[in-house]
Structure 1
Amino acid sequence: MIGPLVFIHEMGHYLVGRWFGVHAETFSIGFGHELKAWHDKRGTRWRIGALPLGGYVKFAGDAGVASEADPAWLELSPEERQRCFPAKPVWQRALIVLAGPVVNLLFAALVLAGFAYIHGENVTPTRIGAVVEGGAADAAGLRPGDRILAIDGEKVELFPQLSKAVMTRLPGEEVTLELDRAGRVMEVPLALGTRVERDRFGNEYRIAQIGIQAAESVQRDVSLAEAPIVGLRRTGELIAMMANGLVDIITGRRAISELGGPLKIAQISGEQAALGPEALIAFIALVSINLGFINLLPIPMLDGGHLFFYGIEAIQRRPVSPRFQEIAFRSGMALLLGLMVFVTVNDLGSFGLWRGLSGLIG
């Protein structure tokens, strides 16, 4: 699943690079031992690596796959230099780099637009139809007929918006609900309850909940013309949820054990495939958003790191010093490798490996 998403990511870089007249020397899907390779009529070497957990496009003038400039490009003829990545204006280089994450996000938006067109959009209002006895809402004094207007100041008009706002919070977290009760607006403090769910594969999830049911369920049809707008909006909502989750992990509100890596993605991919094509396609769209979002983070070695340096270059009217870039890229590589090792250890722990080993040792 990661291979095709990496392919469309790198294809974004490649196509915008071609648009600006940059020669792509290598287009690789995967790293490591070369399984297959061929050259096209433009002289680009297309290769497939044995490790399908990434990929890259190496443009003319790049010293390596991280797109750091090769000083040798300055020794080329004027015609050849015009085909090199470092010769292009900073805005063109920025667009070439930005194209990869943007294509991932647009791909996900297209998938979500398709789902909206097929299944419609849930526009259920936030009016309470029933309160779960003994739940968080019951304890806070919520009543049928109340309409929830906001949670911690975040306005909500539809039940799906309320659900997303609750899901980004932790079970037991204290929130403030703004209610409309028979025309009177009031604020009610509430401690979120916990719902424990187990899927058919034995995975257990602890999810925050208020403990209410909607007064009615409203589904509206989405036209073909409107579907892309709905897809883009849903993509934006998922990006916001990912950003909030990342901030929560960094600030310690969420356990760092929630981070998963390639092994976890492989496990969940298999589970979603077992649930049917729609579940798998929806999960692919989610991973594509993840790929686009993570690559936009301002970390050296990632697209966001390059964009950060191009921003500095645009402001100071000269590139960041090669020595500083080298230090930054080495640090970024160390950070990414360390993160890869950490999430792999997390993945193995979620599979029960460490518990099993401790039992054998004990």
Structure 2
Amino acid sequence: MNILIAILGLSFLILIHEMGHYWAARWLKIPVVNFSIGFGPALFTLHNKLGTSFTLRAILLGGYVKFWEPHMPNSKGKVFDEHPVWKRMITVIAGPLTNLICAYVFFVFLGLSGVTGLKPVVGEVLEDSIAAKAEILPGDTILSLNGAKVLLWQDFLWYALPLLGEPKVSIIVEAADKEILQKELNLASTSLGDIEKERIDNLIGITPKVIQIKPTIGGILEGSAAEKSGLQESDVILSINGEYIYTWREFSSSIQQSPDQELNLRVLRNDNIISINLTPAVHPDNPDKGLAGIRVKTPEIGTSIVDEYYTKAVYPLSQVWTYAFKQTSATLKLTVESLYQLLIGGLGLDSLGGPISIVQHVGVSVEVGMQSFIKMMAFINLSLFFFNLLPIPILDGGHLVTHIIEVLLRRKPSARFLRNYQTLGFALLVTLFIFVTFNDLSRLL
């Protein structure tokens, strides 16, 4: 069911993108032949009075808007390339721009409805770490990072990501005695590539102040190592390989340190103690890290214990626009930095994912909850915005390049140039698709 919701969610984002192209064309009076969601065989088709057909196809991961071309019957005065270049440029940009606006709206909705997470309070500071050198202390509450207001620990993590590699990062904290202090983090020794193996707060050398939760299972991901082992929701982990376990953190640490290694668990289930063998899977992005696919059972928000560690950040109408803008800009900056790191080798090519990975990640976000799902939809919207504007032939950015060339030359590029340019783009996209699909399948096998 989660995978179905994930596919429908992605189809909605594609619909948003293509609707941007379609409505821009309608506004500019550029006729549209066909509006398709998906590829492959048509499931059904509707027609409007303007002569546009709307088609739903069998493979939902994609879509397109088809305009009139010179070789089509009755195309006189309707051909897309015969319209002024400025109209064509607006139509091309409208698709990615709609994804950008949609992502911003998702973040506004998140801010208004409230985002639940850990309070930005420092729990531990690792010795000789970046945080220790900046004199960050346990009990400090992080108020802002480089001017961005921090209300949750996840805000701190997200705002820190695009700042990796910076030698001077301003951080304002409230000390345990309520004194407000400005300090400086030196992140020059870090890079985006480091987060393939380490959480960003571990790179900086701090951990959040967290409640010591009992090792009780709150949920198990479908197809995970935990499900295959026979573990069930509400199981309480008593020991691993004979060593007693008292907190979820101890249990999680043992799992992460044991990729592809069989662990013997003593488990309390319905007042009975049973033995279960669990072999954590190898993390797809880090072969030295184990992955079980288990979610912790946490106390309900609102209890006195949890209120000490967790909070719900609700942004008033006067502030939510700034919150959404900062979330959007931080995500885009991270996307640009990720592409740069890929090009210079800072990030491994095996970190790239394709349709299978996207559906899996969206499916996991559905499992976690509505907030996580909406945030994932916002991230994918921004990815669609950015990558569609890359100057690769066939993509929107590639079409934009040919229109810019037309403006500069004051004539359309030659048919030979367009043919070679599009062939190159098609070859690049097919190669990329094969590569990311191979990565996806390698993670599954």
> Which interval holds the TM-score relative to the shorter structure?
0.7 to 0.9
State the partner residue of 2:286.
none
Is the Cα–Cα contact under 8 Å of residues 112 and 231 in structure 1 kept in the other structure?
A: yes
Aligned length: 324
Q: 1:87 offset after TM fit, Å? A: 2.0
1:108 equivalenced with 2:103 (yes/no): yes
Of 393, 404, 407, the match for 1:311: 404
**Equivalence map 1:318-357=2 (5 Å):** 318-351=411-444, 353=445
State the partner residue of 2:353.
260
Identity between Structure 1 and Structure 2 (%): 31
Residues 156 and 58 from structure 1, CA distance in 2 versus in 1: closer, same or farther, beyond 3 angstroms?
same
1:164 equivalenced with 2:158 (yes/no): yes
1:90 equivalenced with 2:69 (yes/no): no
**CA separation in 1, counterparts of 2:373 and 2:10?**
13
**CA separation in 1, counterparts of 2:133 and 2:322?**
37
**CA separation in 2, counterparts of 1:187 and 1:47?**
53
**CA separation in 2, counterparts of 1:307 and 1:10?**
16
Task: Report which stretch shifted further, 251-260 or 273-282.
Answer: 273-282
Of 182, 206, 209, the match for 1:212: 206
**CA separation in 2, counterparts of 1:24 and 1:286?**
29
Is the Cα–Cα contact under 8 Å of residues 31 and 51 in structure 1 kept in the other structure?
A: yes
**CA separation in 2, counterparts of 1:11 and 1:299?**
21
* 1:75-108 residue CA offsets vs partner (Å, 9 max, x unmatched): 968xx41x33122211110000100001111111
Q: 1:168 offset after TM fit, Å? A: 4.2
**CA separation in 2, counterparts of 1:2 and 1:308?**
27
Residues 141 and 256 from structure 1, CA distance in 2 versus in 1: closer, same or farther, beyond 3 angstroms?
same
1:140 equivalenced with 2:143 (yes/no): no
Of 375, 378, 399, the match for 1:282: 375
**Equivalence map 1:289-308=2 (5 Å):** 289-308=382-401
Is the Cα–Cα contact under 8 Å of residues 33 and 51 in structure 2 kept in the other structure?
A: yes
Residues 327 and 149 from structure 1, CA distance in 2 versus in 1: closer, same or farther, beyond 3 angstroms?
farther
State the partner residue of 1:358.
none
**Which one has a larger percent helix, Structure 1 or Structure 2?**
1
SS in structure 2 at match of 1:43: coil
**CA separation in 1, counterparts of 2:429 and 2:66?**
20
Q: Which runs of 5+ in 1 are unaligned?
A: 62-69, 198-203, 354-362
Q: Which amino acid aligns with 2:50?
A: R
Q: 1:227 offset after TM fit, Å? A: 3.1
* 1:219-253 residue CA offsets vs partner (Å, 9 max, x unmatched): 87533355344323321221111111111111100
**CA separation in 1, counterparts of 2:372 and 2:128?**
30
Q: 1:206 offset after TM fit, Å? A: 3.0
Q: 1:280 offset after TM fit, Å? A: 1.5
Give the structure-2-normalised TM-score.
Answer: 0.63
SS in structure 2 at match of 1:206: coil
SS in structure 2 at match of 1:320: coil
**CA separation in 1, counterparts of 2:338 and 2:191?**
19
Give the structure-1-normalised TM-score.
Answer: 0.76
